[in-house]
Amino acid sequence: PAARAAGPGLEERLFQQVRDHFSFETCGNETFPQRYLVSAKFWKKGFGPIFFYTGNEGDIWTFAQNSDFIFELAEEEQALVIFAEHRYYGKSLPFGLESTQLKKTGLLTVEQALADYAVLITELKQQYGAADCPVIAFGGSYGGMLSAYMRMKYPNIVAGALAASAPLLSVAGLGDPTQFFRDVTADFQKSSPSCVTAVRKAFQQIKDLCLSGAYDEISSKMATCNKISNKEDVYQLFGFARNAFTMMAMMDYPYKTDFMGHLPANPVKVGCEQILAHTDPIQGLAALVGVFYNSSGSAQCYDIYHLYQSCADPTGCGIGSDAEAWDYQVCTEINLTFNSNNVTDMFPEMPFTEAMREQYCWRKWHVRPRARWLRTNFWGGDLKSASNIIFSNGDLDPWAGGGINSSLSPSLIALTIRGGAHHLDLRGHNPADPPSVTEVRKLEASIINGWVKSAGMERAREKRSGASAGGWL
């Protein structure tokens, strides 16, 4: 489709990928079509680096359309650009449309996805005559975790990584479960303290109405399509509403975006203006969540069970088959046991304990989460033996508190974007950008340029010394 002219010259291709990299039996010799996008528009054939986006939980086009910085940098560096889709998402389905059904999800792991990328890079380098071209991994959010992990697990394949807004610590179960919703609250507090007061008041009034059984009043003020008729419905309403705040805080960009929903410029500010324009706090809350759920302004009511589906990720899984795949991942390796408590945050008390997660995941997927595995397999917070990774975070992003926010060594560099939301640095330049992101992108460009140069010098050295067998013996 024409709208898909995302990055310059991107073409969609399929690669016959190994279904199970870690078994030589059953699925080990079977393959599935993995989708990737490639653009050689700026590439200096055989010499320029390869910029490889490690796809995350969704259709790969979505990420390609929201990562223009990679193309801007590719033009400077004369790089080949590849966006690879994560297995089980978009069209990269190991078992076709049955992929997210019970018993078909076993091959959906971080390890398999990284192995996909390692195999794909290796094959494409051969195909493109790019054996000597250094690879830099890029990714945002879960994709940023994957780009860092690629550098940690396959330093032989990837020369460096930009891990934007990658919550490496929180997903490993390191950190404070109250942090996420506390930071969402802080974003709204920064925008307008009276906004937070109004939000607290709205939730409190809904709770009071619920206790007195006045469900009809809640339904009409919140404009729900179906009448709210019990405590479960109210709890669903709370999850639905809390999710709008989460998305608005994450996507609090200084200009209009269509990334994970259609949002106006500065959605947090717009949302606060909405609630404060109403004298009735509950009606104000309904208007605020509409900034996310009713961006077109044409919805007459909210279908709260359809617009928000609760899952093992309290920050939201989305809806559809990609959401199912993500739910499975947060039921197995990825830990997101955040909760809201109405003390350190403005939201209703919604606990989400390890025990609750275990119960949900067993009921839904017949799996038990391995809460400590990511710490073992991907090093938790002890990353100092890695190298050549940039960890960037925006101070408006509620995910930042679960990421790496101070440099760990001269080549493990943490960068903070003041006034930046979720991986703003990966987006293309925009006149409305805060000055900080322009600075950070410059810094990222020069660090990456250094990695590319030194990888090139190393290759040349190896060739000169004919680093063949026995070089070290």
User: If residue 415 lies in a helix (H) or strand (E), which one and from where to where?
Assistant: strand 412-417
Query: Is-catalytic flag, 141?
Result: yes
User: If residue 138 lies in a helix (H) or strand (E), which one and from where to where?
Assistant: strand 135-140
Query: Is-catalytic flag, 422?
Result: yes
DSSP 378: S
Q: Which residues contact 423 (CB under 8 A, 6 or more apart)?
A: 140, 141, 144, 164, 165, 392, 394, 397
- Active-site residue, selected from the candidate residues 39, 141, 147, 436: 141
Phi and psi at 64, nearest 5°, equal -65, -35
- Active-site residue, selected from the candidate residues 21, 86, 422, 423: 422
Question: 446-453, long-range: CB within 8 Å, 24+ apart, which pairs?
Answer: 447/160, 447/390, 447/413, 448/73, 448/77, 448/136, 448/160, 448/162, 448/390, 449/76, 449/77, 451/134, 451/136, 451/159, 451/160, 451/388, 452/49, 452/77, 452/134, 452/136, 452/159
In 3-state terms, what secondary structure has residue 76? Answer: helix
How crowded is residue 81: how many other Cβ atoms within 10 Å of its Cβ?
29
Q: Please, are residues 405 and 168 in contact by the beta-carbon 8 Å criterion?
A: no
Distance spanning both ends of the chain, measured CA to CA = 57
User: If residue 137 lies in a helix (H) or strand (E), which one and from where to where?
Assistant: strand 135-140
Query: Is-catalytic flag, 313?
Result: no
- Active-site residue, selected from the candidate residues 59, 187, 327, 397: 397
The residues carrying an active-site annotation are: 141, 397, 422
